[in-house]
Structures are given as structure tokens and as C-alpha cells.
């Protein structure tokens, strides 16, 4: 279908969509799931356009390892492509990217998606991730969502990471299994959190060894999650994927919760909140 055809389809749909929006807005008065203002275009999804427009993207320079914002003066120094935290502690994740900072509008949208079960937000959040992670996604063989513990998955009704992974135009491989619920992390230091998730993930028993090998061995794998906090969870998942033979593990998340050199106190609050 060329551009003209697309315009034609939109041209037909538009009056209907406008009428539907007017009716929905008048009779149901739905509100934006992120800011609670009345929705002008309810057929456009549960979040208003001004909330989407306020999502703060992470712009370069950023750390190639964790995807966090680098202060520009750091980018001028040596080892310019990674942040102090990543230089201090090598990660099993080879490179990472997040669509935006986990604050303000994006935080509200992620909350609506994850805690209010607004799963229709996944494709648009996925589009933000595709934009931000274009380099990571190119040449990748598959997307692997960070799993929830089966009990949490049952209670929530869906795994937000799996919904996001399904929006990336890559085959989704449910290669991992969370055998231990890891919350609460409150009161733990960064290294304590790392210890807390160590051993929490394993190969999924639902995937046979031969299938797993054919999908992962010598492949580039993109780990997908909603919010990155300290990166401890992604690192623990990357360990399992690399043990299974993955050549490279990249991580893509919707949101980046805090700069990598932010104090533990702030990370603590957010990790607890996003568990």
C-alpha cells in the first residue's frame, strides 16, 4: 500500500473516529490513565497526547553499557563511552538502552501499564523502545523478556516485559524462568540487591534443550524489561543466557530509573516501587 492509499484509508476513517471520540468523550468522559485529565480522543488509547509528548527521552551521550545519561564533560574524557559505575563493575550485559527517564510522564504511563493493567499501552511503549534501541535491535536474533515469578505473573494476569517484547518486531523467546520471588529489596545495598537476585533465574523448563540451543547459541539476544533500576536483574538474566550459549546480551527497557551514579537511597526507593 503506498502513501496515497494510506491517506485514502485515513480519510475514510477519520470522520468516524472523530464522531466516535466525540460520543465517547461526551457520554463516558474517560480520563487519561497517566494524568487523569479528560481524554479528547478516547479511541487513541488510554493516555493523552500531551502525556506522550512529555516523555523525556534519553539523549546521547549515554553510557553504552547501562544506557544511562553521561554528563557531557565525562564524554570528553577517556573511557568516554561508559559511566563510572559500569567502569567499576563490569556487566554481563554488553550494551543497554532505555527509551526514557523513569520520571514524570513516563513513570505515570508505566504505572498505568503495569499496575492498572492497561496492556493496550504496550505497542506505543514498544515503539518508543524501537526508536531508542534501533542499534541494539539490528542484527539481534530474538527478544527475551525478563520473567516474573509464576505466582506474581498469575496475580498480575500478564508479564509486562513479555508484552513489550512482543512489540519489538523480533521473535520472542521465553528462555528464562524466575524460580524465586525476589521482593522485597528494601533495606538492601546495591551489592545486597545483586546477591538477592543471584540464582533467582534459570533456563525455562518449558523450553527443550535442543530448541533453546538452536535459538540462543552464538546468537545476539535482547533482554527486555519495563524499568531498569540498578541493572542487577538484567545482569542475573544475562548470566543465564550466556551460560546457555548466547554470544551477546543486550538490554532494552522502557525506562531508566536513575543515573548509574545516583546514591543508593534513591535507587532503593525506586527498586522497591518497581518490583
Using CB under 5 A as the criterion, which residues of the chain lie in contact with Zn ion when the complex forms?
Answer: 32, 34-35, 48, 51, 63, 65-66, 83, 86, 260
Residue 48 beta carbon to Zn ion: minimum distance, rounded to whole angstroms: 3
Give 148's DSSP letter.
P
* In the complex, minimum distance from the CB of residue 125 to Zn ion, in angstroms, rounded to a whole number: 14
Which helix (DSSP H) or strand (DSSP E) does residue 225 occupy? Answer: strand 220-228
**Which CB, 77 or 157, lies closer to Zn ion?**
77
Q: Judge contact between 176 and 149, C-beta under 8 A.
A: no
Q: Could you tell me the smallest distance in angstroms from the CB atom of residue 55 to Zn ion?
A: 11
* Residue 2 CB burial class (10 angstroms; 0-12, 13-18, ≥19): exposed
Cis peptide before 227 (omega within 30 of 0): no
Residue with smaller CB distance to Zn ion, 83 or 125: 83
Decide the pairing of beta strands 176-178 and 201-203.
antiparallel
Q: Which residues contact 231 (CB under 8 A, 6 or more apart)?
A: 66, 91, 93, 96, 251, 260
Closest approach, Cβ 85 to Zn ion, in A, equals 5
Nearer to Zn ion, 194 or 212 (CB): 194
- Within 13 Å, how many C-alpha atoms sit on residue 272's CB side? 12
Nearer to Zn ion, 170 or 227 (CB): 227
Tell me how long the chain is: 275
Separation of alpha carbons 253 and 251, rounded Å: 7
3-state secondary structure of 64: coil
Our CB check for Zn ion shows the closer of 34 and 144 to be 34
Pick between residue 35 and residue 247 the one whose CB is nearest to Zn ion.
Answer: 35
Q: How far is the CB of 120 from Zn ion (least distance, A)?
A: 15
Smaller CB separation from Zn ion, 65 or 200: 65
Question: Taking the complex as a whole, how short is the minimal distance between the CB of residue 182 and Zn ion, in angstroms?
Answer: 22
CB of 163 to Zn ion, least distance (A): 20
Q: b/e map of 143-171 (b: 16 or more CB within 10 Å)? A: bbbbbbbeeeeeeeeebbbbbbbbbbebe
Amino acid at each position: 500500500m503506498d502513501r496515497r492509499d494510506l491517506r485514502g484509508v485515513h480519510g475514510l476513517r477519520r470522520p468516524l473516529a472523530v464522531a466516535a471520540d466525540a460520543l465517547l468523550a461526551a457520554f463516558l468522559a474517560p480520563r487519561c490513565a497517566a494524568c487523569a485529565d479528560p481524554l479528547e480522543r478516547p479511541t487513541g488509547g488510554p493516555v493523552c497526547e500531551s502525556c506522550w509528548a512529555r516523555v523525556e527521552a534519553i539523549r546521547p551521550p549515554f553510557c553504552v553499557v547501562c544506557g544511562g545519561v553521561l554528563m557531557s564533560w565525562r564524554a570528553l574524557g577517556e573511557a568516554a563511552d561508559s559511566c563510572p559505575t559500569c567502569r567499576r563493575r563490569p556487566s554481563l550485559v554488553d550494551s543497554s538502552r532505555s527509551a526514557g527517564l523513569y520520571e514524570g510522564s513516563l513513570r505515570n504511563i508505566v504505572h498505568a501499564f503495569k499496575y492498572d493493567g492497561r496492556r493496550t499501552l504496550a505497542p506505543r511503549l514498544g515503539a518508543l523502545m524501537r526508536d531508542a534501541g534501533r542499534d541494539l535491535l539490528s542484527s539481534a536474533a530474538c527478544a527475551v523478556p525478563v520473567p516474573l515469578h509464576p505466582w506474581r505473573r498469575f496475580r498480575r494476569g500478564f508479564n509486562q516485559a513479555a508484552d513489550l517484547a512482543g512489540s519489538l518486531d523480533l521473535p520472542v523467546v521465553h528462555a528464562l524462568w524466575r524460580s524465586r520471588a525476589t521482593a522485597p529489596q528494601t533495606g538492601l545495598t546495591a551489592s545486597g540487591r545483586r546477591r538477592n537476585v543471584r540464582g533467582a533465574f534459570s533456563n525455562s523448563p518449558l523450553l527443550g534443550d535442543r530448541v533453546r540451543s538452536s535459538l540462543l547459541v552464538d546468537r545476539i539476544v535482547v533482554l527486555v524489561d519495563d524499568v531498569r533500576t540498578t541493572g542487577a536483574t538484567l545482569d542475573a538474566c544475562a548470566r543465564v543466557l550466556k551460560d546457555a550459549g548466547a554470544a551477546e546480551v543486550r538490554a532494552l527497557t522502557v525506562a531508566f530509573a536513575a543515573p548509574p551514579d545516583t546514591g543508593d537511597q534513591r535507587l532503593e526507593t525506586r527498586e522497591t516501587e518497581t518490583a
